[in-house]
Structure 1
Amino acid sequence: MKKELIVNVALPYATYLLLHHYFGVANVPALAAGAVFPIVSIIVTFLRERRLQPIGLIVLVATSASIAGSFLLDSPTLLLAKGSLITGTVGLVFGLSLLWKRPLVYYIATADPDDRREGEALWPTTPRYRQMMRTITIAWTVALIAEALLRLALIPLLPIEIFLPISETMWIALFVPMTAWSWRYGQRTMSEIKPA
């Protein structure tokens, strides 16, 4: 978490402030320079692990597209909207996964082989388990899309210097309580399904 805060929040924000306020660089190139840090972090992780995480791919594409669009249109708004594009896309993927045989939350929750064995046994036989996975998926879909829309709404209302740190920390304000709620709800439901 500390590394993500430094790479995704502190370094882009410091770069923007330094370039824009101390060297007089225009908003678009100053924001684009700050966006390089998350891109480099994703590339380094890929080179080290030899695989690209789905979220990393979304961040890479969204950031690259927002940089290109901002330079083409000479508008910082697209760079500022990058976070909304990322969380909104992830929210849509969660929502669309409800049409899959099993929703995305199921695969996340059963990443461990023991959990996957238990999930494979419960899924066909336990409606309450299926309902739990779908409920958590719906909750994440709504939360992610709401966060994306709120972030978009803040762009015209706040100066860039205030918007940047708020925008880049909004995912924490979403992720921490949503993860805690998902875990508590999952634990409570599993204790009902499999009483001790």
Structure 2
Amino acid sequence: MNRTLRALLPLLSDLIVPTAVYYLLHQLGVADVPALIAACAATAGYTVPRMIRRRRVDALGLLVIAELAATAGLLAVSGDARLALLRPTVYLTVAAAVFLLSCWRGRPLTYTGATPMATKGDPERTAAYERSWHNSPQMRDTHRRLTAASAAAMLGYAILNAVIVYSFPVSQADGLQKVPGIALILAIMVMLRSRVPRLSRIVDAEQQRSAGAHQGATDPRA
């Protein structure tokens, strides 16, 4: 199982598990709101043990748990199942705004996401990757474009999700909204992977430049 698939599995599980639980309960005659609450609980049921096995606090896992708790509470108070299905629209709109902001403030968020792909965990390449951000306009432009494209994809899914929620019955909308969700995750991963060769070349050039500078500084004939 390659590194990319391992990174995707938790995200795909967060989409697939609650959907499977909801449809199973729905087929058994459970009403929409209790079925969605149970689906939230099922997702939390494997997110918490996952953090315990890793023996570390998983920020993404905590976010999922907080999101599910808020959703279950909202469902219990309002009784409106569609509000829970609008959850991705709200979060992805906020996420897209954060992604866009990172293009102009600090470093684009894809910088961190692409780091293991471009460096392969090599400490020297990681250091060169860091230097490349400061020394290579191409590196900065690549990440800003990637981050902006990811934000656009998130906004597109957020709008599509709202359309699905209010165009179909709850039982159909809950399943249909997962399809573009999975497509969004895969699209962002494909965009990152497609730029890895370019980023790797930038890192290679930075390593060569640094090695040349070091050799020149230590060469007694210089």
State the TM-score, normalized to the length of structure 2: 0.74
What residue identity is the alignment partner of 1:150?
L
**Change over 3 Å in CA distance of 1:93–1:54 after alignment to 2:** farther
User: Which one of the candidate residues 104, 109, 112 is aligned to 2:114?
Assistant: 109
**1:154 lines up with 2:164 in the alignment:** yes
Q: Work out the number of aligned pairs and report it.
A: 194
Task: Give the equivalent residue in structure 1 for 2:73.
Answer: 68
Structure number, greater radius of gyration? 2
Q: Per the alignment, do residues 115 and 90 of structure 1 end up closer, same or farther by CA in structure 2, a change over 3 Å counting?
A: farther
Following the alignment from structure 2 to structure 1, what is the Cα–Cα distance between the partners of residues 177 and 45?
Answer: 20
Q: Report the counterpart of residue 15 of structure 2 in structure 1.
A: 8
Residues 1:66 and 1:3: Cα distance change in structure 2 (over 3 Å): closer
Deviation at 1:130, TM superposition (A): 0.7
Return closer, same or farther for 1:107/1:13 CA change in 2, 3 Å cut-off. Answer: closer
| Distance in 1 separating the partners of 2:149 and 2:170 | 30
Query: Is the contact between residue 132 and residue 186 of structure 1 (CA under 8 Å) also seen in structure 2?
Result: no
Percent identity reads 25
Q: CA deviation at 1:147?
A: 0.9
**Alignment of structure 1 residues 133-152 onto 2, 5 Å:** 133-152=143-162
The normalised TM-score by structure 1 is 0.82
SS in 2 for 1:51: coil
Listed as ranges, the matches of 1:1-196 within 5 Å are 5=12, 8-9=15-16, 11-23=17-29, 25-111=30-116, 112=121, 113-188=123-198, 190-191=200-201
Q: Which amino acid aligns with 2:171?
A: E
Unaligned runs of 5+ in 2: 1-7, 206-222
Asked if the contact 1:70/1:77 (under 8 Å) is kept, the reply is no
Q: Deviations over 1:130-175 (max 9, x none)?
A: 1111111111111112212211121010122222222223222112
Higher relative contact order at CA 8 Å, sep ≥6: structure 1 or structure 2? Answer: 2
8 A contact 1:63–1:79 mirrored in 2: no
The superposition leaves residues 51-78 of structure 1 with CA deviations (integer Å, 9 ceiling, x where unpaired) of 3333333322222212211211110012
User: Which segments of 5 or more consecutive residues in structure 1 lack a partner in the other structure?
Assistant: none
The 3 A distance-change label for structure 1 pair 178 and 26 is same
CA RMSD of aligned residues (A): 2.7
After superposition, the Cα gap between the structure-2 partners of 1:127 and 1:57, relative to the gap in structure 1 and judged at 3 Å, is same
Distance 1:74 1:6 in 2: 26
2:166 aligns to what SS in structure 1? coil
Alpha-carbon displacement from aligned partner over 1:164-196 (angstroms, at most 9, x marks no partner) = 22222322211223322232234246547867x
Residues of 1 paired with 2:13 and 2:174: CA distance? Answer: 13
What one-letter code is carried by the residue in structure 2 that aligns with 1:46? Answer: M
